[in-house]
Structure 1
Amino acid sequence: MLPAGDITGALESREQKRAELKGRNMAEPRPLRTPDQTPDRTPEGSPEGTPDPLGADLPEATPGYKPPVPKTLQELHELDQDDESLTKYKKSLLGDARGSHDEGGLNVVVTRLTLLCDTAPKPMTLDLQGDLQAVKKQVFELKEGVDYKIKISFKVQREIVSGLKYHQVMTRKGITVDRASFMVGSYGPRPGQEQEYVTALDEAPRGLMARGTYSIKSSFVDDDQNVYLSWDWSLTIKKDWSG
């Protein structure tokens, strides 16, 4: 993972540049809230012709964040070629992706969503490359109070993608109970390889009032508000694991 825009300028400090190149998760997940605890809405932009269905329902992931100036993969490979150390570092991040395999379609292909929970009796994975209407009917189950993470698996096919974000809006009985926006980061293409983003550890709500089924609308977008995928899924909080 790398912030593509950070290597587009001349190096003032190699150490500083490397720190910027690494990137980091800039938004932490939040537990479910009751309706009166949800934050005020902060509208986000929409891509021309393809609006993000969740844009107006989400807080700003990183206040004051400004997207970097876009650069092609070729341009980044050609930057600072006289700096041997940086060239090696760029290769470790970018690889030799200029000849990467292209499956066609969008530059970013979202493949799976997985709920990670050490105490779950079985894997919980959504295949996002198939029928999204079938995905909408799938319901994950979590025992109240357990710790869990969300993992998004995806491929970057051709060019570096800058500022990927994972958005989700959670509702129960038609009432919004949580909105979250996670800064995933910027990534270069990896030939034939999936890349992953995992949220920080979160805790499922507990108590009688928290039990029930939640509807979740998710989307995966970038700094330019290109929507690579949006999908619906459900999560049920129970007193104990089924079975």
Structure 2
Amino acid sequence: MSGPSNEEDDFAVQNTPGYKITQKKTVDEYAKLDAEDESLARWKASLGIVPGAASAENSGQPQVTVHTLELVSPTLPAGKKLTMNLDDKKPQEKPFTIKEGIEYNVRITFKVHHGISTGIRYIQVVKRAGITVDKMSVMLGSFNGNPNVVQTKNFDPEESPSGMLARSGTYHVRSRVVDDDGQVFADWEWSFKLAKDWE
């Protein structure tokens, strides 16, 4: 019988086959690459990648901040929202209640404040009674920093489990947002339970 796995193993970044992580560069370094290519220079400028843009990188502001995580479903009663405001820095007071057997998806909002962030992904591990029952890893993308732009990512729809066994107990979730170097931008815990109907 093997011992329990290291929890950090659940959050190890899995690289896409054939994708090679390159050395990180500053916005200024990216702006100077292939500077003689006019069309590429125009494209980079449209993304805000211009020489001298690196000054914000040393502002002390975190590179990426996660603002909200929301569970969205067309079956939710009018006016009901299941949203975690991660700006509050407070732990979730009580578990979300999710109706069993319905389609829902996760939506996350975040900002990339400065620099070039490559391969940002959301990883989620769900446990019940200490046993991992689900794991999800979703690529959010690569971004050039712009503190005025809120990025929104809607994950693919899923179906919540159903049945008496699924409704017993509370599901504990640990969520993390990392980049392809494994740098952790956000790490938080929350919980949910399943019920026959929305509460």
* TM-score, normalized by the shorter chain, greater than 0.5: yes
Structure 1 residue 233, shift from structure 2 partner? 0.6
Amino acid in the other structure paired with 1:192: N
Among 109, 124, 136, the alignment partner of 2:82 is 124
Q: Tell me what 2:47 maps to.
A: 93
Q: Tell me what 1:18 maps to.
A: none
Q: Tell me what 1:23 maps to.
A: none
Is contact 1:67-1:163 (8 Å) kept? no
Q: Tell me what 1:215 maps to.
A: 172
* Residue deviations 1:32-66 (CA, integer Å, cap 9, x gap): xxxxxxxxx7x8xxxxxxxxxx5312475444343
Q: Structure 2: where are the runs of 5+ without partners?
A: none
* Residue deviations 1:171-202 (CA, integer Å, cap 9, x gap): 11222111222222211111322112221111
Is contact 2:28-2:49 (8 Å) kept? no
CA distance in 1, matches of 2:138, 2:63: 20
Is contact 2:61-2:113 (8 Å) kept? no
Q: Tell me what 2:101 maps to.
A: 145
CA distance in 2, matches of 1:141, 1:103: 40
Structure 1 residue 131, shift from structure 2 partner? 2.8
Structure 1 residue 162, shift from structure 2 partner? 1.4
Show the 5 A alignment for 1:77-92: 77-92=31-46
Q: Structure 1: where are the runs of 5+ without partners?
A: 1-40, 44-53
CA distance in 1, matches of 2:126, 2:132: 6
Q: Tell me what 1:35 maps to.
A: none
Q: Tell me what 1:111 maps to.
A: 67
CA distance in 1, matches of 2:15, 2:125: 17
Amino acid in the other structure paired with 2:43: Y
Identity %: 37
Structure 1 residue 80, shift from structure 2 partner? 2.5
Amino acid in the other structure paired with 1:71: K
Show the 5 A alignment for 1:2-41: none
- Higher helix proportion (structure 1 or 2): 1
Structure 1 residue 104, shift from structure 2 partner? 3.5
Name the SS of the counterpart of 1:132 in structure 2. Answer: coil
1:110 and 1:81, CA in 2 relative to 1: closer, same or farther beyond 3 A?
A: same
Does residue 241 (structure 1) correspond to residue 195 (structure 2)? The answer is no
Q: Tell me what 1:56 maps to.
A: 9
Query: Aligned pairs, how many?
Result: 189
Name the SS of the counterpart of 2:193 in structure 1. Answer: strand
Q: Which deviates further from its counterpart, 98-107 or 219-228?
A: 98-107
Q: Tell me what 1:232 maps to.
A: 189
- Higher strand proportion (structure 1 or 2): 2
Is contact 2:123-2:138 (8 Å) kept? yes
Structure 1 residue 235, shift from structure 2 partner? 1.4
Q: Which deviates further from its counterpart, 144-153 or 97-106?
A: 97-106
Q: Tell me what 1:206 maps to.
A: 162
Q: TM-score, length-normalised on structure 1?
A: 0.68
RMSD: 2.6
CA distance in 2, matches of 1:215, 1:73: 38
Is contact 1:157-1:191 (8 Å) kept? yes
Q: Tell me what 1:73 maps to.
A: 27
CA distance in 1, matches of 2:102, 2:12: 25
Q: TM-score, length-normalised on structure 2?
A: 0.82
Is contact 2:31-2:49 (8 Å) kept? no
CA distance in 1, matches of 2:14, 2:71: 21
